[in-house]
Amino acid sequence: MKLLIRSAKIIDNESPFNNKVMDILVEDGNIKEIAPQIKTKKVDREITLDNLHVSQGWFDSSVNFGEPGFEDRETLENGLRTAGKSGFTSIALNSGNDPVTDNKGAVSFLKNKAQGQPVALYPIGALTRKSEGTEMAELFDMQQAGAVAFGDYQRAVSNPNMLKLALQYTQNFDGLVLSFPQENKIAGNGQVNEHEMSTLLGLKGIPALAEELQITRDLYILEYTGGKLHIPTISTAKAVDIIRDAKEKGLDVTCGVAIHNLFFTDEILKEFDTNAKVLPPLRTKADVKALLQGIKDGTIDMVTTDHSPMDVEHKKVEFDNALYGTLGLESALGALLKITSLKTAVKMLTAGKSRFNIPENVIEEGAPANLTFFDPEVTYTFEKEHIWSTSRNSLFLGQELKGKVYGILSDSTFLASED
């Protein structure tokens, strides 16, 4: 199949064509030619779009669907389609399904289900059996089946010895360990960030201390053990400082931040909107500022949507009874471009690949065509009609966003957002 992309501005730091407007000819899934004007008559499809920009396909390091176990929230098929329409060509799927992805069979189930989809699914295996924190899961076996990292979704490794052993054991096969940053005893039954807003609303607070204490502990363990540690979602100013120091020390640690933790503060909780109930919680202006600085100086390695489809039965309830999570895939670009530059946004949406061992495809002749197409300028209000997920729990509803995805090209398939 031949595909010709007309007049696309290439956004790819690694590419010799970075920031240039080029035609791109793709043949049988590979980039055949990049040139200012390609004269080819016989192509199967020609793509001409307004203000077209193209980058390497994006990767999201923390995504949840519902399958298996919560298919009414989201199926793998529609979830992956949603990811693709939102600009992602690959995603890492968290282990928090029912049953938990804690063995080879569960990993294989996910891989098989995702076969033939334009978006590549990379399962994250649970670190401990049933994510209960007591016995280590068969990590190597899961890696053999396709798991790219190991972590218990939104559950901290409370037992320090478990983290120590996991960081040691995974060195035998270069595994990546995820540790959710929350000291559970300090967090208690907290629902939201402990600060002025939680005080005003009488909601139980999760102190920033809970996150910072856990990260500090994890890094002490990492310093002792060696190994590879990734903190999936950080949210506080001090967490950025702690990780910055650790990186300066040379520890092999990376971290991500959820886009909603960059876009919103806990101010939005004022009306007890359950879509704003996320974990880690939305923090303060000062935290957001420090997180953005962390992105700028390289302390934060990647952004994630931490996409969590949730059925209405668990959101249209009293705040304390609501489950955590917001949708994030559909609004990812539009939200990011409101708070960072185009260059930073694209970097943050692609930088996680190397850490998770996912192929990076620089935009150059001869490379596989794994591309995301978008217009970074168009502004719009994010409404229900922009949600492709089965669930509707987006915190971004009603927000002014900037930048829309046209679609992706992956595995020889062009998936248009408007299809």
Sheet holding 176-178, edge to edge: 58-63, 88-93, 120-125, 149-150, 176-178, 228-231, 253-258, 302-304
Residue 161 or 189 having the CB closest to other proteins: 189
Nearest distance in Å: CB 330, other proteins: 24
Count of chain residues binding other proteins (CB under 8 A): 23
- CA atoms 278, 287, 58, 123: torsion sign: negative
Q: Does 199 bind other proteins (CB under 8 A)?
A: yes
DSSP 59-123: EEEEE---TTT-TTT--HHHHHHHHHHTTEEEEEEPS-SSS-S-SHHHHHHHHHHTTT-SSEEEE
Nearest distance in Å: CB 211, other proteins: 15
Which residue in 161, 189, 384, 385 binds other proteins (CB under 8 A)? Answer: 189
Nearest distance in Å: CB 158, other proteins: 16
C-alpha distances out from residue 155 to 63, 181, 231, 249, Å: 15, 8, 12, 27
Which residue in 319, 365, 388, 413 binds other proteins (CB under 8 A)? Answer: 319
Residue 1 or 200 having the CB closest to other proteins: 200
Q: Which of 71, 124, 74, 76 is nearest to 100 (CA)?
A: 124
Catalytic residue among 102, 287, 301, 306: 306
Q: What does the alpha-carbon distance between residue 39 and residue 291 come to, in Å, rounded to a whole number?
A: 46
Pattern 298-317, other proteins, x by CB under 8 A: ---------------x--xx
Q: Which helix (H) or strand (E) holds 407?
A: strand 400-410
Instruction: Show contacts with other proteins in window 230-289 (CB under 8 A).
Output: 271-272
Residue 12 or 266 having the CB closest to other proteins: 266
Nearest distance in Å: CB 195, other proteins: 5
Q: Does 201 bind other proteins (CB under 8 A)?
A: yes
306 catalytic per annotation: yes
Q: Which of 116, 128, 127, 64 is nearest to 91 (CA)?
A: 64
Which residue in 200, 223, 286, 380 binds other proteins (CB under 8 A)? Answer: 200
Site residues (CB under 8 A) for other proteins? 188-189, 194-196, 198-205, 207, 271-272, 313, 316-321
Give catalytic residues, as residue numbers.
306
